[in-house]
Chain A
Amino acid sequence: MSIETINEQLLRAIGVGVALLDGNSFNFRFHNDTFEEWFGKPEADARLGDVFSELDIDALRKGLKENGGYTGETRFKKKRRTMAVALDFTLTEEGGQEIAVLVCQNITRIRELESMIDSYSMMVERNNRELKREKEQVEKLLLNIMPRAVYEEFKTFGVVTPQLYDPVSVLMLDFVGFTDMVASADPSVTVTELNDIYSAFDRIGEQFGCERIKTIGDAYITVAGLPDPTPDHSKAAANAAIRFIRYLERRNSSHPNQWRCRIGLATGAVVGSVVGIQKYVYDIFGPAVNLATRLQEFSEPMQISVQDEMAATLREHFELANLGSRDIRGFGQKDVWHLLDTAKTMKKAGK
């Protein structure tokens, strides 16, 4: 057997498709078995375009002329599998004649893997988006029950150090006749309305720099001066209290259910911390909280009661009416004041 014969047999047997074409006419001069297996046996006078109808012959000619080579890709169905084959042309010369050598590599697996990676990366991206959304929801929930600064501390260290905030102003609001309302009205309506009102309070509080601490049923507690110290915390709490009442009055004028509240305002110290291990609650404790709760009881419906010390600082900006000295449980005899909505009193006086 001659070397040429051995070479030809090797060329026929390899898993790469090989064809030799006339460099000008692109007529087939030779093809190996793998080529025939993939693309069938070309007719005696077949040209390249007859076998690869989608191939851009002009681009191929240009590529061979300018660069001596050209690459492309073709797809065909073999049974039900889509085969992808890379075509690689190179120009060579044999006995004064130009020959285009076509080498075909089976890249089906590579294309399948690429599709799989695409599919997988899309799944992962979607997952990441979902995780991000979930994280944001958790963050939103936690921010609902604790101030942002506390949340940041909690996120970083996993714990929250109890902090003493002194002084702050606490606003304690309680609805009048809430228990009766719950018993007599449709519970879902009551809850929806309560939710609306609390949301409005949150917005108002935010405007004045108050941080809502919690709601217990119909009691709503918000604080000014926490977690960041604010010099005019008492003014902020008083402003919020006045707006809460104005909001309720406006709401009552157009709603069948009448919501009336009592508000207590007190200035003093509180300790803030996350309480509980499984069920996190951010809570505040301390004299200011207790005092605000007691004072609230001195309010008539839609009235705001203020402790003596706080009244002293508010006097400059707000109108206050002295209720006289009262016995405040746990705090002894103290003067109690009513905070008046100046805008309204002025209106009443016809100014």
Chain B
Amino acid sequence: MNEQSLFEKYGGFARISRVVLSFYDTLLDSDDIGPFFDDIDMSRMVDHQTKFIASLLGGPASYTDNQLRQLHSHLPIEDDHFDELKVVLGATLKDHEFTDPDIIAVLQEFEKRRGLIVG
């Protein structure tokens, strides 16, 4: 049997959508990461965040490695930015009552994609 994904464990789209919106809010307010989204249209940004969070939590559809690489290839994202994003993500999950082991698991998933995003 397949193990239940974190996406399912934390209530599926109904609850994860709130995580995505808080994450999105925090990113837009962040002075370090926010500027990357200055010229991006809201619906594209929300679409990206929804797919990204869903893929980290084992949700219904995942970004492939190639998609992630392509999406970020034109952006001057550095390790510092990635680290900051990791902090924001961890805090967002904490706010939404994810348990510590689950937060660690999600952040590990995120860390695995560092090479695709930073470049």
Do A and B share a complex?
A: yes
Chain A residues close to B by CB (< 8 Å) = 79-82, 84, 108-109, 111-113, 115-116, 118-120, 123-124, 126-127
Chain B residues close to A by CB (< 8 Å) = 13, 17, 20-21, 24, 28, 34-35, 37-38, 41-43, 46-47, 50-51, 54, 59-61
B26 CB to closest chain A CB (Å) equals 12
- Knowing A124-B60, A126-B61 are in contact, say whether A80-B28 is a contact too (CB < 8 A): yes
> Are A111 and B42 touching (Cβ within 8 A)?
yes
A298 CB to closest chain B CB (Å) equals 52
A41 CB to closest chain B CB (Å) equals 25
| From A111, A118, A123, residue with most partner B Cβ within 10 Å | A123
| From A80, A81, A113, A127, residue with most partner B Cβ within 10 Å | A80
Q: Name 9 A/B residue pairs within 8 A (Cβ), A-sorted.
A: A80-B35, A81-B28, A81-B42, A112-B21, A112-B42, A115-B42, A116-B20, A119-B47, A124-B60
From A80, A115, A123, give the contact of B59 (CB < 8 A): A123
A246 CB to closest chain B CB (Å) equals 49
- Residues from chain B with Cβ under 8 Å of A79 in the complex: 28, 34
B96 CB to closest chain A CB (Å) equals 15
B43 CB to closest chain A CB (Å) equals 4
A81 CB to closest chain B CB (Å) equals 5
> Are A80 and B34 touching (Cβ within 8 A)?
yes
Interface SS, A side: helix
Q: For residue A78, which residue of chain B has the nearest CB? A: B28
> Are A120 and B34 touching (Cβ within 8 A)?
no
- Residues from chain A with Cβ under 8 Å of B28 in the complex: 79-81
A114 CB to closest chain B CB (Å) equals 8
- Residues from chain B with Cβ under 8 Å of A109 in the complex: 21
- Residues from chain A with Cβ under 8 Å of B38 in the complex: 80
> Are A127 and B61 touching (Cβ within 8 A)?
yes
Q: For residue A123, which residue of chain B has the nearest CB? A: B61
From B20, B43, B54, give the contact of A123 (CB < 8 A): B54
> Are A118 and B47 touching (Cβ within 8 A)?
yes
> Are B17 and A116 touching (Cβ within 8 A)?
yes
Known: A119-B51, A123-B50. 17 other contacts (CB 8 A): A80-B38, A82-B42, A109-B21, A111-B43, A112-B21, A112-B24, A112-B42, A115-B42, A116-B20, A116-B21, A116-B47, A116-B50, A120-B13, A120-B50, A120-B54, A123-B60, A127-B61
Q: For residue A130, which residue of chain B has the nearest CB? A: B61
> Are A115 and B60 touching (Cβ within 8 A)?
no
